[in-house]
């Protein structure tokens, strides 16, 4: 009887020890994101554009180093394709509508970024990982006051950790644009959304490449006031992401049909690849 009791106590103690805490889950998420070499997934997204949540559905294939990305849109632009190769400032675009020719578009220009929170190179999980790395540095020892592990949740038949970051310091601040500084550069420097900057400063800036030297603009102190992640317990990737600001839901992303490190043929990221419809 005593042996049985000791064994049970050992099992319980081991189980408690095996449970991850909030920091460990986030660290494993960051590590898992950084270890990805290739990726394929479908994604449903909702982004707040001009006060309305706009829905999108796409398929993405990604090679991490060197960065190569192919995106096929199901909605809102059915059949549109985007191909990006690292080192280029433009992406090859098949709009699948007039003018029915391939276009080389600036990845941050107004045409390719129309009704889009992010540019093509933020595809995958690195962007969220970078935001969390910055949050860990910024909040340092106070991170446990903001970051909570709210147990587990079942999503799309997958067991996930539910991680919530509540930013009590979130606020809208003032920022003075520097000479030749673009909205995108400000966003990267402050780890905030370039679309959010545009949203807050209509009439001063109009897109991520806008400049307003010497102008005082409004910027959020952080990327989000509240961030909720569903992190898959097997691969530790944030397969569902909710970001809230001072208004409410700002963006939501859901990843489906996830393939980690698939082997792509040599011509996968060329316009000649079989199945693509670049002209």
DSSP bridge pairs for 145: none
Strand 147-155 relative to strand 103-106, pairing:
unpaired
Residue 204 is predicted with a pLDDT of: 97
- Residue 18 pLDDT grade (very low, low, confident, very high; cuts 50, 70, 90): low
pLDDT of residue 15 exceeding 50: no
Residue 99 is predicted with a pLDDT of: 86
| Predicted structure pTM score | 0.92
**Dihedral angle at the C-alpha atoms of 113, 116, 118, 121, nearest 10 degrees?**
-60
pLDDT digits (tens, 9 = 90+) for 80-119: 999 999 999 999 999 999 888 999 999 999 999 999 999 9
Instruction: Give the DSSP per-residue string, 1-30.
Output: -HHHHHHHHHHHHHHHHHS--HHHHHHHHH
Residue 133 is predicted with a pLDDT of: 95
H/E stretch holding 195: helix 194-200
pLDDT digits (tens, 9 = 90+) for 124-155: 999 999 999 999 999 887 888 889 999 999 99
Question: Is domain 22-170+222-260 annotated with CATH 2.50.20.10?
Answer: yes
Residue 130 is predicted with a pLDDT of: 97
Residue 193 is predicted with a pLDDT of: 98
Percent of the chain's residues with pLDDT above 90: 87
8 Å CB contact between 41 and 256:
yes
Interval 50-63 mean pLDDT = 97
Residue 6 is predicted with a pLDDT of: 41
Residue 5 is predicted with a pLDDT of: 45
pLDDT of residue 9 exceeding 50: no
pLDDT digits (tens, 9 = 90+) for 205-249: 999 999 999 999 999 999 999 999 999 999 999 999 999 999 999
Interval 65-94 mean pLDDT = 97
Residue 2 is predicted with a pLDDT of: 58
Residue 279 is predicted with a pLDDT of: 84
Between CA 118 and CA 111 the distance in angstroms is 13
165-196: burial string, b at 16+ Cβ within 10 Å, e else: bebeebeeeebebeeebbbbbbbeebebbbbb
Question: What's the burial of 122, exposed, middle or buried (CB within 10 Å: 0-12/13-18/19+)?
Answer: middle
pLDDT of residue 77 exceeding 60: yes
Residue 153 is predicted with a pLDDT of: 97
Ramachandran quadrant class, 148 (left: phi over 0; alpha: psi -120 to 50; beta: rest): beta
Nearest Cα residue to 37 out of 262, 270, 274: 262
Between CA 77 and CA 57 the distance in angstroms is 9
Residue 24 is predicted with a pLDDT of: 96
pLDDT of residue 7 exceeding 90: no
Residue 144 is predicted with a pLDDT of: 85
pLDDT digits (tens, 9 = 90+) for 257-268: 999 999 999 999
Look over the chain and give the mean of its residue pLDDT values, rounded to a whole number: 93
């Amino acid at each position: 009887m005593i042996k049985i009791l000791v064994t049970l106590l050992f099992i319980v103690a081991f189980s408690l020890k095996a449970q991850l805490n909030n920091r460990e889950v986030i660290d494993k998420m960051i590590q898992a994101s950084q270890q990805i070499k290739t990726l394929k997934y479908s994604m449903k997204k909702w982004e707040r554009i001009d006060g309305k949540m706009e829905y999108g559905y796409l398929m993405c294939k990604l090679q991490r180093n060197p960065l190569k990305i192919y995106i096929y849109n199901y909605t809102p632009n059915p059949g549109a394709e985007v191909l990006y190769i690292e080192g280029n400032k433009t992406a090859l675009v098949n709009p699948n509508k007039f003018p029915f020719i391939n276009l080389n578009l600036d990845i941050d220009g107004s045409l390719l970024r129309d009704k889009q929170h992010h540019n093509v190179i933020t595809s995958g999980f690195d962007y969220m990982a970078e935001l969390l790395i910055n949050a860990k540095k910024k909040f340092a020892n106070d991170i446990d006051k903001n970051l909570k592990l709210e147990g587990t949740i079942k999503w799309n038949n997958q067991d996930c950790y539910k991680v919530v970051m509540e930013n009590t310091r979130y606020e809208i601040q003032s920022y003075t644009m520097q000479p030749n500084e673009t909205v995108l550069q400000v966003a990267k420097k402050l780890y905030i959304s370039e679309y959010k900057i545009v949203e807050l400063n209509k009439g001063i800036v109009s897109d991520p490449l806008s400049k307003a030297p010497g102008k005082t603009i409004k910027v959020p102190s952080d990327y989000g006031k509240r961030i909720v992640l569903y992190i898959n317990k097997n691969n530790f990737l944030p397969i569902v992401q909710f970001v809230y600001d001072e208004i409410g839901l700002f963006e939501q992303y859901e990843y489906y049909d996830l393939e980690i490190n698939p082997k792509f043929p040599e011509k996968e990221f060329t316009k000649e690849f079989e199945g693509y419809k670049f002209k």
